[in-house]
Homo-oligomer: A and B are copies of this chain.
Amino acid sequence: MLERIRIVLIGTSHPGNIGGVARAMHNMGLADLALVAPRCEVITQDSISRASGADHLLHRSLSHPTLEAAVNDCTLVVGASARSRTLPWPMISPRELGQRLPEECRDPQARIALVFGREDSGLTNAELQRCHAHVHIPTNADFSSLNLAAAVQVLAYECRMTWLEQLENAPQPQKADDPVAQALATHAELEHFFAHLERTLIAIEFHDPAQPRQLMARLRRLYLRARPERMELNILRGILSATEKTAKSAEMPPSEHP
């Protein structure tokens, strides 16, 4: 279970924090570190010193230009968020995150990304809207900004606690008829669907990208909440293709009309 959890750090500024994250991860048995557009060097004296023996995680970490590239193969993407945003998103506690893992990991293809934002400004709204859910570490209202490694420490600790509880329990048989046990769509598949959805809404003149009015954000929230399976996404994309075809046929000049 722990080997399928990826820690994704976006736009980190301080090598020491990356090292601290590596140490917290290795302490809790996590190994998959991904960096998105880091704003500092990854391998420095400071990061290696703070990693304190976990610097193999730094050397093995992958850097990506975008969040999408870092989480493309993930079936659950959870963003760490300090505050609730204008558009409320499914919000879970670190403990709930841990408790959800066994169910999420039933599919052997499942991959989970925990996404952490910049030291100074966290995650952008666009980044948060790519997540299935947000996790909020309950902090002092007057002093809510956790150190990056501390935030990773808390979530990794909850993941480990669940993993240890599972080890103590007997192995569970897979429920065949459980919908969540079906193959979930990956992040990349979901993003292709959202792009297709937006194109189609423009084609039927329902959506004007010049006046977006949070339309796509609201639709993202709805569909991400449903955790679509791959097969369901195929149906939805089929509907979009049929809609596009209809829209094209409506646009045709009369002479070309069948």
Q: Which residues of A contact B (CB under 8 A)?
A: 20, 23-24, 26-29, 50, 52-54, 84, 88-91, 94-95, 137-140, 143-147, 149-150, 153-154, 157, 160-161, 164, 177-179, 182, 201, 203-206, 215, 218-219, 221-223, 225-228, 231-232, 235-236, 238-239, 242-243, 245-247, 249-250, 254-255, 257
Contact = CB atoms under 8 A, between A and B. Distances in A.
11 contacts: A26-B143, A53-B145, A84-B177, A91-B178, A94-B157, A138-B160, A138-B164, A153-B154, A201-B242, A246-B250, A249-B250
A177 B136 CA distance: 14
Nearest to A93: B161
A218 to B, nearest CB: 6
Contact of A179 (B88, B95, B228, B239): B88
Given A88-B177, A140-B29, A222 B218 contact: no
B246 A218 contact: no
Count this chain's copies in the assembly: 2
A26 B140 contact: yes
Contact of A204 (B91, B221, B246): B246
A170 to B, nearest CB: 16
A250 to B, nearest CB: 4
Given A226-B223, A228-B222, A206 B238 contact: yes
B235 A88 contact: no
A91 B95 CA distance: 22
Contacts of A257: 254, 257
Nearest to A214: B235
Contacts of A52: 145, 147
Nearest to A149: B150
A48 to B, nearest CB: 14
Contacts of A143: 26-27, 53-54
Contact of A219 (B89, B160, B235): B235
A88 B178 contact: yes
Contacts of A89: 179
Contacts of A228: 222
Contact of A232 (B177, B218, B227): B218
Given A94-B157, A201-B242, A206-B243, 18 more contacts: A24-B150, A27-B139, A27-B144, A29-B140, A52-B145, A53-B145, A138-B161, A154-B157, A179-B221, A204-B239, A204-B245, A221-B232, A223-B226, A225-B226, A246-B247, A246-B250, A249-B250, A250-B250
